[in-house]
Structure 1
């Protein structure tokens, strides 16, 4: 496996989207956060309504020219810490062996899978001509090791099972991939991405984010396809998004139908192959890295009359990586095939570049054992809101073992800036360590740091203007 072509597929927000050298998404999202939310700020990244699986016309087209290296976020949906260390995490493949697949993450995962197929075939042909210079004693011809973060796993698996990629794949690695969707996508598309606690500012931001998200096919394909996605107040039985008796207000039925069709196409392709595969088993290995340490929204709450979304309620939170629930991150379609599931406490956005996971990625390339829990007893967990109003205080809490002796503190810096502000955590009456933070409009990285032994955890917090 060490001689195989390594293809990395980033997730949503994981590629720079440019036009004439301008980082269009960075400019638009910065403009959105630094003034009162307005659809005008996001006009250059919106797609035409009803685009579906087609590529956009030239005036809507953006170039994905590189992987994202700075932290980024889509308020109310997910964050990405960037991929500046991904090649090192993969064990530093030799020149020509590593292929980053930057892509326009706004587009349909079906279309992106087609683009991935063309790119992989071209790069594998090239690498097959070069491999002798680096691995003359290899046991066989090179295949493809597909490493996918977040929604990149939806692109990768569609390419493998629906577009013939399985014939040249050695292994698929998914890092926090939402195999069954995420509830946050439903809230975003219904206009309830940011909690109502933000007041009228949150409502304005929700409306602008919804208007953009409705034009992005990739967001619709993130809708949860599980049977218990919707919880109705006063009803004991959870429901799927397709239950017509309790449609989610503001969520277009066409988007729900396409999300279910997207997952159904994949499942049908997998089942068709299972009937012809030797022993019904996949011809490639599957490795899954998923988190259980972060409270994660796993459902949508509806009022008893079905007319309003509710923010709280039992059963709406569960273990996960803060974005993808534990059960959605596990590729259930691999069963009963052998799949290595590696549990970790790493948050969703950092899943691709965390040091502990990098050790496992390098082991996969070398064909070494990779089982085990990736978080030790010294691990700490930072809790902050994903979004808050700029200039107003928000609370950060850190959880961990023996924090009184480990000097917990918060380090806060604006994305793209070098200056850092350090604030000590203090115990509250309940014994939890907390700090009040605030900052100007924009994206901030908040990091919790402890000593003896050293530990850290971080999160992207989006502060929007009032």
Structure 2
């Protein structure tokens, strides 16, 4: 595996989208959070109706040239801290034939337009890999002697939705014949219930907000739903497990069998069609095989409260619980449920996954996981259980208002007796400018702190001592 081509596929939000050299996502997000110019909220990113599995043209087209370097978020749904230096995490090439680092031609980043259907993106991935693999195979024997007898293959390292793109490429586009391994970091193999929230116009919970803040949240929810419904990718993130619960709590069923108010049925059909296409291809290819031709390494989180489903009330109201019953641990990474991020289509036991305490946004940059990725690439054993007694759950508001305090809460049995500190940083500001705030017991077994920030997208870092652990999350702060 040391001589294989490594391909990094980011998740949704993980690629910088530009038009005429200008960031369209940053511009659209600021309009989305503003009450002054609602028309601008969707015009930069909106896709035309009926785009299906194709790419847009004209005013809807964007350039997807490089990875996101700093934090970004779709409030109430997904966030990404960025990918500052993925290649460095896997080791730099030192010029020696036996060196462990990646040769410049041995690493490929695949930025893409994350609004589009994962089918279209997978087709683009196939084209890019074919070219890069041919180029690498031509020179690999001169770099790694092992490549003379074992032609290089592909190691796919994927964050979040990038793993769905890779799965479609592997099973539906014959990518498995060139693959050595698939590594996924928080990939929603069975979807994420947060997609139901955003597509029904309930991305952010109003809570006990003042009138003006409440007006802002309701307005943003409406615009987010309008925007997200135009993205084929978001529909393909809808949960395809039994996630719908009746108000009386009597059993669970699937979205395709229980209509959810304000959730367009065509989006639900698209989600199930997409996942069933992958499953059917997988089962067809596996006939007569004891194992797939490539290895699967699955990193997943389960330390944090995570929305798992939707409760439909008799009056049409919706609630989004973090647990669906009492028969199991319903944790996740704050966005993707642990059960969805577990590659159950190929792994038989939970201890075959690599569990960790990171949140979804920061999983690709987590220090412990970086060491595991390097071990996998060098064909060395990776630790099977990254989670430990140091992990703690973290709850962060969907959106905060500039100048108004917001609450950060740490939970779980491991927070008792430990000192936890939270701080906010922003791109362009040195960490030393951020003053940490100590969390205090809340009387229920957790610890809380109130933070205040100016308008913008902030990185939240919560550190705990004895033993040391850290969690990251993106916080969106709208103007007051």
Q: Normalised by the shorter chain, which TM-score bucket?
A: over 0.9
Q: Secondary structure of 2:105's match? A: coil
1:99 matches 2:114: no
The 2-side partners of 1:440 and 1:325 are apart by 31
Q: Which residue of 2 aligns with 1:57?
A: 57
- RMSD, aligned CA: 2.3
Q: Which residue of 1 aligns with 2:22?
A: 22
The 2-side partners of 1:464 and 1:37 are apart by 14
Q: Secondary structure of 1:17's match? A: strand
Q: Secondary structure of 1:179's match? A: coil
Give 1:153's match in structure 2, choosing from 156, 163, 188: 163
Residues 402/213 of structure 1: CA separation in 2 closer, same or farther (3 Å cut): closer
Q: Secondary structure of 2:353's match? A: strand
Residue by residue, what CA displacement relative to the aligned partner does 1:324-362 show, whole Å, maximum 9, x if unpaired?
101110122225699941111111111112111111111
The Cα shift of 1:446 comes to 1.7
Answer whether contact 1:71 1:80 (CA < 8 A) is retained.
Answer: yes
The Cα shift of 1:405 comes to 6.8
The 2-side partners of 1:377 and 1:207 are apart by 40
Q: Which residue of 2 aligns with 1:11?
A: 11
The 2-side partners of 1:58 and 1:237 are apart by 47
Give 1:356's match in structure 2, choosing from 359, 364, 368: 368
Q: Which residue of 2 aligns with 1:89?
A: 89
Most deviating of 17-26 and 60-69: 17-26
Q: Which residue of 1 aligns with 2:233?
A: 218
Answer whether contact 2:415 2:446 (CA < 8 A) is retained.
Answer: no
Residue by residue, what CA displacement relative to the aligned partner does 1:347-390 show, whole Å, maximum 9, x if unpaired?
11111121111111111111111142113333444332232333
Give 1:232's match in structure 2, choosing from 238, 246, 260: 246
Q: Which residue of 2 aligns with 1:259?
A: 271
For structure 2, the residue ranges without an aligned partner over 5 or more in a row are 93-101
Give 1:163's match in structure 2, choosing from 173, 195, 200: 173
The 1-side partners of 2:138 and 2:351 are apart by 31
Q: Which residue of 2 aligns with 1:201?
A: 216
1:321 matches 2:333: yes
The 2-side partners of 1:301 and 1:435 are apart by 30
Residue by residue, what CA displacement relative to the aligned partner does 1:170-199 show, whole Å, maximum 9, x if unpaired?
011111000011111111111111113152
* TM-score normalised according to structure 2 size: 0.90
The Cα shift of 1:404 comes to 7.8
Q: Which residue of 2 aligns with 1:129?
A: 138
Q: Secondary structure of 1:122's match? A: helix
The 2-side partners of 1:188 and 1:358 are apart by 31
1:182 matches 2:196: no
Q: Which residue of 1 aligns with 2:386?
A: 374
The Cα shift of 1:216 comes to 0.7
Q: Secondary structure of 2:423's match? A: strand
Residue by residue, what CA displacement relative to the aligned partner does 1:202-255 show, whole Å, maximum 9, x if unpaired?
1111001011001111001111111x2111201401121111xx4111111111
The 2-side partners of 1:404 and 1:252 are apart by 44
User: What is the correspondence of 1:402-413 to structure 2 with a 5 Å cutoff?
Assistant: 407-413=419-425
The Cα shift of 1:57 comes to 1.2
Answer whether contact 2:305 2:322 (CA < 8 A) is retained.
Answer: no
The Cα shift of 1:59 comes to 1.8
The 2-side partners of 1:379 and 1:318 are apart by 15
The 2-side partners of 1:283 and 1:456 are apart by 36
For structure 1, the residue ranges without an aligned partner over 5 or more in a row are none
Most deviating of 420-429 and 215-224: 420-429
Q: Which residue of 1 aligns with 2:475?
A: 461
Answer whether contact 2:17 2:24 (CA < 8 A) is retained.
Answer: yes
The 1-side partners of 2:37 and 2:471 are apart by 30
Q: Which residue of 2 aligns with 1:110?
A: 119
Q: Secondary structure of 2:157's match? A: strand
The Cα shift of 1:391 comes to 2.8
Q: Secondary structure of 1:421's match? A: coil
User: What is the correspondence of 1:427-438 to structure 2 with a 5 Å cutoff?
Assistant: 427-430=441-444, 432-438=446-452
* TM-score normalised according to structure 1 size: 0.93
Report the count of equivalent residues.
Answer: 460
The Cα shift of 1:120 comes to 0.3
Answer whether contact 2:402 2:454 (CA < 8 A) is retained.
Answer: yes
Q: Which residue of 1 aligns with 2:154?
A: 144
Residues 379/43 of structure 1: CA separation in 2 closer, same or farther (3 Å cut): same
Answer whether contact 1:382 1:458 (CA < 8 A) is retained.
Answer: no
Residues 60/300 of structure 1: CA separation in 2 closer, same or farther (3 Å cut): same
